[in-house]
Chains A and B, each alone.
Chain A
Amino acid sequence: MKFKHLLGLLCAASVSVALAGAASAQDKTVKIGAIFPLSGNAASAGVHAKAAIETAIDIINNAHPELGDLPLAKNAGLAGLGGAKVEAIFADNQGSPAVGQNQALRLITEEKVVALNGAYQSGITLTASAISEKYGIPFVNGESVAASLTERGFKWFFRVTPVASDFAKIYLDFLKDMKAAGQKVDNIALVHENTEYGTSVAGVITSVFKDNGLGIAQDIAYSANTTDVQSQVLQLKDKKPDVVIMISYTSDAILYAKTMQALDYKPPMMMADNAGFSDPSLIKTVGKQVQGIFNRSSFSIGPPGSPTFLINEMYKKRSGDDLDDTAARQMQGFFVLCDAIDRAGSTAPEKIQAALKATDLKPDQLIMGYKGVKFDDKGQNILASGLVIQLQDGENYVPVWPKERAKTAPALPYKGW
């Protein structure tokens, strides 16, 4: 009995010491730069990204024991740095690679951030991370999928999201399954916007499909800032592909949805590569005109009471929308970065870099449905994975493939409106 009392006392003492330590670290904050498109054509995505990062910071800086094994949730602040708080310094990339680069420079040299996060558009992540590489500051990206980003031999760039080649593989396997089920998938059209994101994803899909005996019959590149897409839709109508794969941002995706209805064009099967077609404002505006579109995702909100469900509730309070795949991947990227800083126990760039390299998160420590987080030498997460979802009941995407993770079967043909 006495021993237990003693133990109790010791515990209490250690807790109070820990608390005192935490108190003295209250004024210590870890500054992280967050570059997103807060204005410009992709502002809708940027605003959602900001809400996602702010939700993550709330989870990190305050105690959230209800969130299970999610790292940094249980206690307030970063335990590894004596309970230091995390602060995000947001910077607007205005949708321009040059601005994104300047913002990275400003955040590093003037705001003295210890690490960078962002920057949504692949083309901007490309330029912004070049600056962090030069200054030796870790850059963790949660959402940009252009393959080239991790093919530059960078030492300070880490990417948590699955990349274009992972998705291309998912699309391929999915289409093969559909073919086995009797759906015609021989004639495939790619419709993609022409910056780094659309071009590289289209390139990867083309080569992965070609290697596996599925040719791309039609390749339509366009500018995302376009005022009109009638001609592109008519090109599709002319060639009648079996499957149309859209790689678009939001504004152009809305125009395609509207124009396809106006010109009465429906492919037998339509797929989207996330981005624009995952934007909550797209679902609200033209969701009813793209019923049955397939999309990729690595996130699902989960059953009531689950950590992802609770996080979604917190996020919804900030943004007014449900957590979509893109915002969830951004949040995951931020968690991975903060977890590394926590484990590093220091804000020294080399220490954070070493901790990032040693990252080994298990599926139950993630909000995303990845198989884990572990980086290869190029800085790419080798355990990232995804699934195919479909817009079936008006407002919500449901997982439809692979079978073991599906909630319902894929519905074909494409319904449209």
Chain B
Amino acid sequence: MSSILVQVIVGGLLLGAVYALFSSGLTLIWGMMNIVNFAHGDFVMLGMYVAFVVWTLFGVGPLVGAPVAALVLATLGIIVYFGLIRSVMRGPMLAQILGTFGLALLLRYSVFWGFGANFMTLPENLVGGTFDVLGIRIQASRLLAGVVALLVTLGLHLLLTRTSLGSKMLAVAEDSTAAQLMGIRPDSMQAIAWAIAAAATGIAGALIATFFYIAPTVGETLGIVAFVTVSLGGFGSVPGALVAGLLIGVIESVSAYWIGAVYKDIVVYSLFLCFLWFRPQGLMGKT
């Protein structure tokens, strides 16, 4: 295998880890309350802007930017839950879709208004530049994003399967009336789920900002990938999103290299549709 091909695959894995990172929040919300958050891509965008503001004000990188983004987005997640989601959940499916879609536009154009349409970036060497491993170039910023993706996935998985908070959240997801009879308040559990999902998304945004461009419309570009990742991984499955993200990243990279960049989406989406044909619940989703 040529060293360039190894580079392509390594690049694909790191890209896939990033896909997984910003998809985990979306899959969590779905798993908890069967709501598709169309504003998800714009949550990522907000995380990026928080990282940018933190860097502009204090000159520090994602080590501070990511926790701040997590905090800001978690707060936003709670506000969104009580201000919007709780009411639209009682409405028809269409209201849920349009509600979060409207939220997406509100966030996008607020940022547009506040920061302008210009593209921005964080300095290239904010996270240690690029290093060589046996002739393979690895960007520290992407590696950091990849490692955090693994940690966030592991963290969310442990939270849901090993803690009493996780059990309570899953109980609400399964049957909120029954959970209520057991003394669990569905409202708080779902608000917590939104806070955690939004926080994870904020961290993702803050890390992606270190190697991507920042613009009000960036959520559109990233949002679509998140939806594909989540449905391939299985709606509601956090480890599923990780595997799916890595898979999509590698398939995209290799097909773009071998066949051509304009064909990579054709390859990814036809494989995706074929897969859903045989396994509509996704890689690790429940039937």
Contacts and interface: CB of A to CB of B under 8 A. Distances in A.
Contact of A230 (B130, B212, B253): B253
A350 interface: no
Interface in A247-289: 250-251, 254-255, 258, 261-264, 279-282, 284-286, 289
Interface string B129-164: 010000001010010000000000000000000000
Given A238-B4, A254-B213, A263-B137, A281 B15 contact: no
A212 interface: no
Interface in A204-260: 220-223, 225-232, 234-235, 237-238, 250-251, 254-255, 258
A232 B260 CA distance: 8
B235 interface: no
Interface in B1-23: 4, 7-8, 11-12, 15
Q: Which of A38, A262, A264 has the most C-beta atoms of chain B within 10 angstroms of its own C-beta?
A: A262
Contacts of B222: 227
Nearest to B217: A41
Interface stretch (B31-39, B119-127, B182-190, B192-200): B119-127
Interface residues of B, number: 40
Q: Which of B217, B222, B264 has the most C-beta atoms of chain A within 10 angstroms of its own C-beta?
A: B217
A264 B117 CA distance: 30
Interface string A310-350: 00000000000000000000000000000000000000000
B112 A43 contact: yes
Interface in B179-226: 211-213, 215-218, 220-222, 225
A292 interface: no
Contacts of B217: 39-41, 43
A231 B124 contact: no
B246 to A, nearest CB: 14
A46 interface: yes
B116 interface: yes
Contact of A228 (B15, B216, B218): B15
B260 A221 contact: yes
A221 B137 contact: no
Contacts of B221: 41, 225-227, 251
B119 A264 contact: no
B30 interface: no
Nearest to B249: A228
Contact of A262 (B116, B121, B139, B216): B139
Contacts of A238: 4
Nearest to B132: A264
Q: Which of B7, B118, B121, B222 has the most C-beta atoms of chain A within 10 angstroms of its own C-beta?
A: B118
Interface string A283-312: 011100100000000000000000000000
A261 B124 contact: yes
B137 A281 contact: no
Interface in A103-155: none
A223 B261 contact: yes
A44 interface: yes
Contact of A231 (B118, B119, B257, B265): B257
B276 interface: no
A251 B119 contact: yes
A47 B117 contact: yes
B272 interface: no
A258 B119 contact: no
26 contacts: A38-B117, A39-B117, A39-B217, A43-B217, A44-B119, A47-B118, A194-B262, A221-B262, A225-B220, A226-B261, A227-B225, A228-B256, A229-B261, A230-B12, A231-B11, A232-B256, A234-B257, A251-B218, A251-B221, A258-B121, A262-B211, A264-B137, A282-B119, A284-B118, A285-B121, A285-B213
Given A221-B260, A230-B253, A254-B213, 15 more contacts: A39-B217, A40-B217, A40-B220, A43-B216, A44-B118, A44-B215, A220-B261, A221-B262, A228-B256, A230-B11, A230-B12, A232-B261, A251-B218, A258-B124, A262-B211
